[in-house]
């Protein structure tokens, strides 16, 4: 158990819908990272927040957005969902801002029908 | 740009030693990580190299050569539970951790 928690574990929804994934980092960690993992693409970095501020951005679609709240938990919002958004979404956290070891949560498995 | 290459699949037998290679090309290097991931589960941290050389941690060791853009993960005394995907990841300039597609290791008895 890494200490990172994610909810929900599973999510089934329809195309065009919007969902919110939630992540709580390890105690003391200030950075939160979001990743998408699909069978053909591997683990893809989406976005990083550090202490409430956006720190780095990867290949995150415009339909996706995230934020980190004052209590350091983070939410990833996915809207106008498409079939291709079906994937495992992982959150990770680290103590600091740069080049640190990331510890991953158990993931949310999203299925878009 | 960033490119990380590792073999797609490897097989080995219990008790053996296996070496999983990773080569990378990066615009800036700030550390190389190895993670283990069982199917459908979270990646778990195995090792970190930022300087050249070998880091040993129990049955697992990781080696880095920055000049060659090369790393390997060495697994000794293989056990069935070591069957998993092994991900090589590199920090590029700007903080993003970029992952290779992973090497699926199958350990048989």
Best to test chain A binding among B97, B101, B103 (most A CBs inside 10 Å): B97
Beta strands in B51-108 (DSSP E): 53-57, 60-65, 70-75, 84-91, 97-99, 103-108
Of the pLDDT bands very low, low, confident and very high (cuts 50, 70, 90), residue B94 is low
Of the pLDDT bands very low, low, confident and very high (cuts 50, 70, 90), residue B65 is very high
Tens digit of each residue's pLDDT (9 = 90 or more) over A47-67: 999 999 999 999 899 999 999
The answer to whether the CB atoms of B95 and A103 lie below 8 A apart is no
* φ, ψ for residue A85, nearest 5 deg: -80, -10
Integer Cα distance of A99 and B25 in angstroms: 17
The answer to whether the CB atoms of B96 and A97 lie below 8 A apart is no
Name, in order, each residue with C-beta under 8 angstroms of B11's C-beta and a sequence gap of 6 or more: B105, B106, B107, B108
Q: What is the pLDDT of residue B2?
A: 66
Of B33, B44, B95, the CB nearest to A48: B95
Q: Among B2-6, B56-60, B61-65, which is the least confidently predicted range?
A: B2-6
């Amino acid at each position: 158990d890494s200490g990172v928690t994610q909810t929900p574990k599973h999510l089934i929804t329809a195309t065009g819908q919007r969902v919110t994934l939630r992540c709580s980092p390890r105690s003391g960690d200030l950075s939160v990272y979001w990743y998408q993992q699909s069978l053909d693409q591997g683990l893809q970095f989406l976005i990083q927040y550090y202490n409430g501020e956006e720190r780095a951005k990867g290949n995150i679609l415009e339909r996706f957005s995230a934020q980190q709240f004052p209590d350091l938990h983070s939410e990833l919002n996915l809207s106008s969902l498409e079939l291709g958004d079906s994937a495992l979404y992982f959150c990770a956290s680290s103590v600091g801002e740069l080049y640190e070891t990331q510890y991953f949560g158990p993931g949310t498995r999203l299925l878009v029908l | 740009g960033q490119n990380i290459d590792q073999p797609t699949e490897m097989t080995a037998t219990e008790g053996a030693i296996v070496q999983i290679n990773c080569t990378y090309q990066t615009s800036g290097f700030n550390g190389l990580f190895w993670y283990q991931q069982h199917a459908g589960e979270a990646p778990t941290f195995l090792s970190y190299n930022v300087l050249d050389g070998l880091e040993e941690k129990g049955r697992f060791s990781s080696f880095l050569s920055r000049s060659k853009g090369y790393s390997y993960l060495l697994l000794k005394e293989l056990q069935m539970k070591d069957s998993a995907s092994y991900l090589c990841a590199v920090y590029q300039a700007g903080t993003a951790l970029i992952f290779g597609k992973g090497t699926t290791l199958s350990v048989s008895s």
